[in-house]
Amino acid sequence: MTDDTPFTGDSRVLHRRAIRIPLPDDAAELSFYRTMSTIADAQERKARLIADPDTSILEAYERQLEGIAEGFERSLEDTVGDDYEAVAHAYSSGRRDDGLAAMAAYLLEALWRLQQMFTITERTFFPVILRYPRCTTVNIRFVNGHVTENAVLYESPEHAACDLEDRHADVYHSESHWSQKRAARRIEASARLVREAFPDPRETDLETRRTGGIVAAFGRRGSEFSSAIERVEPDPDRFADAIDAPELIVEGSIAERTEREWLPEDAVVL
């Protein structure tokens, strides 16, 4: 594999793993905050678009995924550098095995799979992002299956598979519009959860922000879209050591618990 070969993914780097990223100084703290702010911004933009009856629900969904991808790209640029794609290739081909290369491969795999979700239904993005006293962990999961537990569901009539008679069509469109308005309110509130979990380091002391986290799920099945974000609280004593470079780790207890609680029995974690 050469550095100019398009990245086509390797699910093994994601499966049952997370990337642990150190927070050694103010610059790293600010970079993490800006990444999470970008993701919260994407939620707020999605809420505005869903509430707009002239905007396609699919467009709102895609704009959100693009915002999440932008957050991951920001993290890669700040931590790995502008050549993160070449670094990821080096990891995938075995030419590098250091932590920065592992982070590049992990998040680039996530970006590649997010791009696939624009056209693949029956797939859910199911991340867990946690803040610890001296590091963060990002656990990216993609699920073959539709997550409805803990999620707000909303309909997109333009993606309905069948034609309805006028009387039924009017009712369906009215109910769909109601579900979109309800979803917009919930999604806007979920953006606040992200900001509360990961506050601005310039405005909060370390003790206030030493731990925090979110679990989220975004997906689509046919004409039904789903969106969910919840706060979670990680164990502050999980990591006894400090690290000076990113490292791949096994997924933690919160990932295991949320998988049990959120996923339907027939769902498959990729």
Q: Which has the minimum average pLDDT: 42-46, 83-87, 134-138, 262-266? A: 262-266
Strand partners, 217: 228
Query: What pLDDT digit, counting tens, does each position of 84-126 carry?
Result: 999 999 998 889 999 999 999 999 999 988 888 877 777 899 9
Query: Concatenated DSSP letters for 136-190?
Result: EEEE--EEES---TT-EEEE-GGG-SS---HHHHHHHHHHHHHHHHHHHHHHHHH
Q: Average of pLDDT values for 237-253?
A: 93
pLDDT value of position 165: 57
* Predicted TM-score (pTM) of this structure: 0.91
pLDDT tier at 10, thresholds 50, 70, 90 = low
Per the rule left: phi > 0, alpha: psi between -120 and 50, beta: everything else, 81 is left
Q: Average of pLDDT values for 54-68?
A: 87
Burial class of residue 20, CB neighbours in 10 A (0-12, 13-18, 19+) = buried
pLDDT value of position 206: 87
B/e letters for 30-49, b = 16+ CB within 10 Å, e = fewer, are ebbbebbbbbbbbbbbbbeb
3-class DSSP state of 101: helix
16 to each of 135, 142, 207, how far by Cα in Å? 19, 11, 30
Tell me the residue type at 204. T
pLDDT tier at 61, thresholds 50, 70, 90 = confident
pLDDT value of position 252: 93
The mean pLDDT value of the chain amounts to 88
pLDDT tier at 9, thresholds 50, 70, 90 = low
What backbone phi and psi angles, to 5 degrees, belong to 62?
Answer: -70, -35
3-class DSSP state of 55: coil
Strand partners, 175: none
Instruction: Indicate whether 6 pLDDT > 60.
Output: no
Query: What pLDDT digit, counting tens, does each position of 152-203 carry?
Result: 998 887 766 566 555 566 677 778 888 889 999 999 999 999 999 999 999 9
Query: What pLDDT digit, counting tens, does each position of 23-49 carry?
Result: 999 999 999 999 999 999 999 999 999
Instruction: Indicate whether 60 pLDDT > 70.
Output: yes
